[in-house]
Structure 1
């Protein structure tokens, strides 16, 4: 077998192996349990909104 034939054979082999690897599909993982009802989005959401409002008012008053 010449070097050229070996390269062609190796290329075909790699393509076929990659096709076999792609063809093996995997099932998606099962979904997780649903969150408990009434769970808040974030505990610090209200505190952050108040801080942002306070900071904005302070900047506006300082600028005037």
Structure 2
């Protein structure tokens, strides 16, 4: 397959994909609103973050004292 054939094929595919994308977005009807569901469960961020912050402060203080 020559370079000219590859360019022609790539151009045709680009035009076809562009047409399909444009056609898919041309709907006139508004989207149907989803019914509200239960709120997502929250991740507990309490002890782990506090422990990590304390460990970071201790590690930083230890490095500063060694300098």
User: So what's the TM-score if we normalise by structure 2?
Assistant: 0.44
User: So what's the TM-score if we normalise by structure 1?
Assistant: 0.45
